Amino acid sequence: MDAVVKLTPDEAVARLMVMDDYDAGNGPEACVHTFRDSAIGLLGAHWSIVDARTAFETFGAEEAGPAATAMGHGVVVTDKTSAVFFETKERD
């Protein structure tokens, strides 16, 4: 089993693949793609960077495991519901 690598909120935010929000209904606001596992499969959503930082501060952020990282989602938070994986930039 791989060791858990904790990230500070600043470290986690710096790794995110930030994009302009495509939904003008509440924005525009910078956001990041996420997914979480559910009974029907993976559910994807865009989270605002502000909400992502709040989750990192509230629940703590970690490096994701090899499978999620291979899918381009290298930061994970386990909130009250389940694990949420955040899209990240490619690392050298």
How is the chain split into domains, by residue range? 6-86
Please state, in angstroms and rounded to a whole number, the distance separating the CA atoms of residues 28 and 44.
Answer: 19
The reported pLDDT for the residue numbered 27 is 60
Higher pLDDT, 23 or 89: 89
Name the region of 91 (left: φ>0; alpha: ψ -120 to 50; beta: rest). Answer: beta
Using alpha carbons, list the distances in angstroms from residue 90 to 25, 28, 69, 71, 72: 30, 25, 9, 11, 7
pTM of structure: 0.88
